[in-house]
């Protein structure tokens, strides 16, 4: 089987504050939504805009950083891979959810008032805890 590629890069605005929880083994996981927009001019000369929402999931140290430093309406760059999970509810109905599993996050735009940092980038290239780049 040949090698594949699953890489996603988005820049957008958080639609809600990040929510962090812990797995039964104690590993932190944070989820949040990011809206990206694109604009174009139609053949009739009308300006159009379309917004796409991404469900983002971050694990481990990156999860903790996202929970601490991100908030609703903040601009962010997120890089990772797409993953689709499926499950059945109590009534047997099947559900599917596609998520961007983050391995890199860069804060963009204005920060929350309690932050006094320069641009901070978090990179997790090896699936571990990652490194900071300033």
Q: Express each pLDDT in 2-47 by its tens digit.
A: 899 999 999 999 999 999 999 999 999 999 999 999 999 999 999 9
Q: Where are the domains of the chain?
A: 8-125
Q: What is the pTM of this model?
A: 0.77
Architecture of domain 8-125: Beta Barrel (2.40)
CA gap 52, 56 in Å, rounded: 13
Q: Where are the beta strands (DSSP E) in the chain?
A: 8-14, 19-22, 28-41, 47-59, 75-88, 94-107, 121-123, 131-133
């Amino acid at each position: 089987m040949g090698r594949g590629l699953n890489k996603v890069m988005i820049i957008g605005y958080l639609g809600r504050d990040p929510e962090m929880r812990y797995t039964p083994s104690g590993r932190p996981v944070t989820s949040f939504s990011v809206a990206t927009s694109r604009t174009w001019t139609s053949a009739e000369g009308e300006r159009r805009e379309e917004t796409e929402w991404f469900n983002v999931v971050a694990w481990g140290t990156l999860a903790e950083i996202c929970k601490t430093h991100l908030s609703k309406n903040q601009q962010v760059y997120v890089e990772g891979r797409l993953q689709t999970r499926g499950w059945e509810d109590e009534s047997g109905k099947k559900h599917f959810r596609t998520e961007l599993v983050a391995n890199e996050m860069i804060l963009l735009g204005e920060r929350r008032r309690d932050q006094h940092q320069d641009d901070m980038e978090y990179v997790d290239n090896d699936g571990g805890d990652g490194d900071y780049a300033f």
